[in-house]
Chain A
């Protein structure tokens, strides 16, 4: 169930009719929606530049749960082509509902949306119109995308703005407000991406855009959707069995130009598929060779599985993934191996299958054995296909997007963690026959991620993997989701706002914030070790204070009274480390006063002063020794008082003897003196 963005009840909503400001340049009007330009789950609103009242802009506000593709905004700004919507501004806006959203502002399209539904039937456009208004400008757009390294991912007939009779070229709709693959029907995706869950498709490649362009041209030529009424699974199945070109075009007669163009674009072999560079050459008149048929290799005998007959390995792999127990049996009893070698005549594939089985046995005891076995077998049978595991169907590059979706919607991340942990991605990379060197960084990244997700301490786990794989997403902490924190600099001001709101949790720290800081600020994981232990609350609180004090010092702001007051009840117990009562009370007063000023560094110096701690400890030890010696003295005196006779004997009697001695001496001296005197 998707979770709505959290709201901060203390935010002040704008008055009806007023605008909200994006940065310093752009005004957006929340009361003026533009439904014609909206995307699925992404509303559009009127906008204009502050210093240009005549500017006609459209703002897309990402109010949905999934974050947009803000990591490629800079690349998109560099594209200035008539066939591509011009990106004017981007950033985070405070919406009247009190939530902050990522927002993208474009020049308003010159024409309305060309089609609202794929199932619309229109008169086929003639070749000249298609070539002039679609082929040539779109090739230019694709060239721009290739130049900037951007994959559009949303090229489809319902994302084009054009009107028949217009002299302007069509404009491709925006592609940044949703993660790649979301909202793109399987019709416009390659077979591999069509098999993949929308949120697990990943950014894709330039050749995927070329394929989508080819499908778009095909639909314009046909005037209708050849797969109308079929679901995505049936569309993919048809493409697998007959090849994309044959499945889409069917028996329709194409002009030689379009036939060549569409065969080049719709080939299912990505190595053979035309790129923008090939299209440019083709426009220039150069003729390029292409494969005649993309249909999957057919076996001489079928194999029966789950009540169906299968002649091709791709469609069989698809079926195996959907019937795991039966598939495990088929693999285990050697039936599949025999079919591959004898009926399909593909020894390489049979060897790959054997490698897949061996790889899972090498790993020793493994959880979800059958699922792992079938997942690996499917990769071996169809390496270009997505990883299919326990209901998930994802491209390795799509793990990033799927993690985010699972977190924001409260979905189950365990299967994704299994994929990372059990090195299925690395196995998938190993099985790729082409572009393997390009995939090495991906494999290395997932090797590192496997180590991270195993650890449960703060700064690791699924949260760490999410931020490592998604460099541009905001912090997904439930406390901060409404504030769209994308940078480390923005974290403390956001926490300051949360401190005085109902979204405030017990601690100003959670696993998401920790992972966000580890990844974006390159903080050491050791700093967060203390935060993983709920038992040692004072140590945890001091670690938080140290971290935030350092961040305040580096990034500001100067005063964070809300955050300081939030931390106060957490750090006060650490004053118990001081033994001196009056010292403790004095420090308590000091930290309360300092918290009001919001200086976290000063707070830290008061609470965590090693010299003061050491001095206090030494004085306490001395006080204890003094206490003991006083007790001893009291005991001795009380013992003495209890035995009066011994005092008399030990003190009184000797003193009496001394007094007597003095008197006796005096008397004797007197006697002797008197005797001497009288003798004179």
Chain B
């Protein structure tokens, strides 16, 4: 069974895809879940708590996986306290279900994912605006430098005319 899973993963890893990043995540998650059978209950918590990440992976328009990563890491961070709590209380189904039944659990897990989503929503456009503003300033400075070069060397500095012709004033 493990070998079958490995074959499937190999095939999937070798295949190029639009959502290559998302599929990789699936593979990683499945590998984690599959390899850690003895962590079944934490895994169950992970599986349930990482739902926002899974949604983003399948329904988001993340081209390079950055958005998914941003949501996933905060999503996972939101699950960690409860995994720790489960370990502390004992890894039993009733404990797991008890933790999952609490609304704060869902608030934290989904809230963390939500924070991730907020970051993904707000930060990239802001960064883009800042980057573009910087680029504009840079372009203006570079254009000034071009003018300085033209004033120092004349308009021929902008041409690829042979030097002999420039020297003759042609």
Contact residue among B67, B128, B132 (Cβ-Cβ distance under 8 Å from A657): B67
Chain B residue with Cβ nearest A650 = B64
Q: Is the CB of B84 within 8 A of A653?
A: no
In the complex, A630 Cα to B120 Cα: how many Å? 34
Task: Give the segment of B26-34, B42-50, B93-101, B140-148 that binds chain A.
Answer: B140-148
Task: Known contacts A623-B152, A627-B157, A648-B128; decide if A654 and B64 are in contact (CB<8 Å).
Answer: yes
How many A-B residue pairs have C-beta atoms within 8 angstroms? Tell me: 156
Seed contacts A641-B136, A644-B132, A660-B69; 9 additional CB < 8 Å A-B pairs: A579-B157, A623-B153, A624-B157, A653-B67, A657-B69, A661-B69, A664-B74, A667-B78, A667-B112
Q: Is the CB of A653 within 8 A of B120?
A: yes
Chain A residue with Cβ nearest B85 = A675
Q: Determine whether B151 belongs to the interface, using a CB cutoff of 8 Å to chain A.
A: yes
Q: Determine whether A366 belongs to the interface, using a CB cutoff of 8 Å to chain B.
A: no
Q: Determine whether A369 belongs to the interface, using a CB cutoff of 8 Å to chain B.
A: no
Chain A residue with Cβ nearest B153 = A623
In the complex, A633 Cα to B135 Cα: how many Å? 10
Task: Give the segment of B2-10, B11-19, B162-170 that binds chain A.
Answer: B162-170
Q: Is the interface of A mostly helix, strand, loop or mixed?
A: helix
Contact residue among A627, A637, A655, A668 (Cβ-Cβ distance under 8 Å from B158): A627
B169 proximity list for chain A (CB < 8 A)? 573, 576
In the complex, A354 Cα to B142 Cα: how many Å? 88
Q: Determine whether A580 belongs to the interface, using a CB cutoff of 8 Å to chain B.
A: yes
Q: Is the CB of B168 within 8 A of A667?
A: no
Which chain B residues in 114-164 approach chain A with CB under 8 Å? 115-116, 119-120, 123-128, 131-132, 135-136, 138-139, 142-143, 145-146, 149, 151-154, 156-158, 160, 163
How many interface residues does A have (CB within 8 Å)?
Answer: 47
Q: Please, could you name 11 A-B residue pairs with CB atoms under 8 Å apart, sorted by A? A: A624-B157, A637-B138, A641-B132, A650-B64, A652-B124, A654-B66, A657-B67, A660-B70, A661-B70, A663-B77, A663-B119
Q: Determine whether A638 belongs to the interface, using a CB cutoff of 8 Å to chain B.
A: yes
Chain A residue with Cβ nearest B167 = A577
Contact residue among B112, B116, B127 (Cβ-Cβ distance under 8 Å from A655): B127
Q: Is the CB of B124 within 8 A of A648?
A: yes
Q: Determine whether B110 belongs to the interface, using a CB cutoff of 8 Å to chain A.
A: no
Cβ distance A641 to chain B, nearest Cβ, rounded Å = 5
Cβ distance A21 to chain B, nearest Cβ, rounded Å = 51
Interface string of A180-198 (1 = CB under 8 A from B): 0000000000000000000
B112 proximity list for chain A (CB < 8 A)? 664, 667
Q: Determine whether A659 belongs to the interface, using a CB cutoff of 8 Å to chain B.
A: yes
Q: Is the CB of A652 within 8 A of B81?
A: no
Interface string of B46-78 (1 = CB under 8 A from A): 000000000000000011101101110110111
Task: Known contacts A652-B127, A652-B128, A656-B119; decide if A667 and B77 are in contact (CB<8 Å).
Answer: yes
B116 proximity list for chain A (CB < 8 A)? 660, 664
Cβ distance B38 to chain A, nearest Cβ, rounded Å = 21
Chain B residue with Cβ nearest A582 = B152
Q: Is the CB of B157 within 8 A of A652?
A: no
A679 proximity list for chain B (CB < 8 A)? 88
Q: Is the CB of A631 within 8 A of B146?
A: yes
Chain B residue with Cβ nearest A577 = B167
A640 proximity list for chain B (CB < 8 A)? 131-132, 135
Cβ distance A576 to chain B, nearest Cβ, rounded Å = 5
Which chain A residues in 660-674 approach chain B with CB under 8 Å? 660-661, 663-665, 667-668, 671-672, 674
In the complex, A674 Cα to B82 Cα: how many Å? 12
Q: Determine whether B41 belongs to the interface, using a CB cutoff of 8 Å to chain A.
A: no
Cβ distance B93 to chain A, nearest Cβ, rounded Å = 21
